[in-house]
A and B are shown apart, each in its own frame.
Chain A
């Protein structure tokens, strides 16, 4: 198993550009989430999904879109990047209701200039 994979590892965007951060897991996990990590702020939840076709907003959803068309993939879209979205983004997956361990991807470091 590759676990949770994220691409790209690093990305630099100009303000107003759009891009998609990719997240995939090969463990057949039901739950997937996106977090952002900013200095001194810990990790904050952006969006999450409890299954294919089901997504919901977390604590800081503004400026981000998600969809979950398959169990494996959970992409995060930035429609019009802003400097405030400069952050490290982590994708996580969790098997399902009865198992509470979250498996994290290696992260994507995004800089918006």
Chain B
């Protein structure tokens, strides 16, 4: 069975600080897909990124970057120069090849104060 662990329950930072959200996953499958979702206070789930298990390149999108390391089964998410609008719950999730659904971590609540 697969599992996603987000050990950080809540993180508080001050605006402009950099922050990294950790995600560790477990699976015996060799083909899988990793995701990050953002859930702002309004409650909807916003897709941020998908990464497949064969692509270990790090990705940067504006202030967001993702570090995928198969050797440590981690898919960490860094926000550079955080802003108040980044305050949200962030979920890491895993989907296996041939499966139609996602396994989610428990989420990390990020609070960015001015």
Residues of A near any B CB (own CB < 8 A): 31, 33, 35, 40-45, 48, 50, 58, 88, 90, 92, 94, 97, 100-104, 106-107, 109
> What 3 pairs between A and B have smallest CB-CB spacing?
A42-B106, A31-B100, A42-B104
- 30 example contacts (A-B, Cβ-Cβ < 8 A) are as follows A31-B100, A33-B100, A35-B102, A40-B106, A41-B106, A42-B91, A42-B104, A42-B106, A42-B107, A43-B91, A43-B93, A45-B102, A45-B103, A48-B100, A48-B101, A50-B100, A88-B43, A90-B45, A92-B102, A100-B33, A100-B50, A100-B52, A100-B95, A102-B35, A102-B102, A103-B47, A104-B37, A106-B43, A107-B43, A107-B44
A83 to B43, CA, bound (A): 21
Q: Which residues of A contact B93 (CB under 8 A)?
A: 43
Closest beta carbon of chain A to B67's beta carbon, Å: 20
> How distant is the Cα of A103 from the Cα of B105 in the complex, in angstroms?
18
CB-CB under 8 A from A104, the residues of chain B are: 37, 44-45
Residues in B lying within 8 Å of A, measured CB to CB: 6, 9, 33, 35, 37, 43-45, 47, 50, 52, 91, 93, 95, 98, 100-107
In the complex, what distance in Å separates the CA atom of A94 from the CA atom of B100? 8
- CB closest residue in chain A, given B37: A104
- A contact residues around B98 at 8 Å (CB): 97
Which residues of chain A are within 8 angstroms of B43 by Cβ–Cβ distance? 88, 106-107, 109
A45 lies within 8 A of B101 (CB): yes
Question: CA of A88 to CA of B43 in the docked complex: distance in angstroms?
Answer: 9
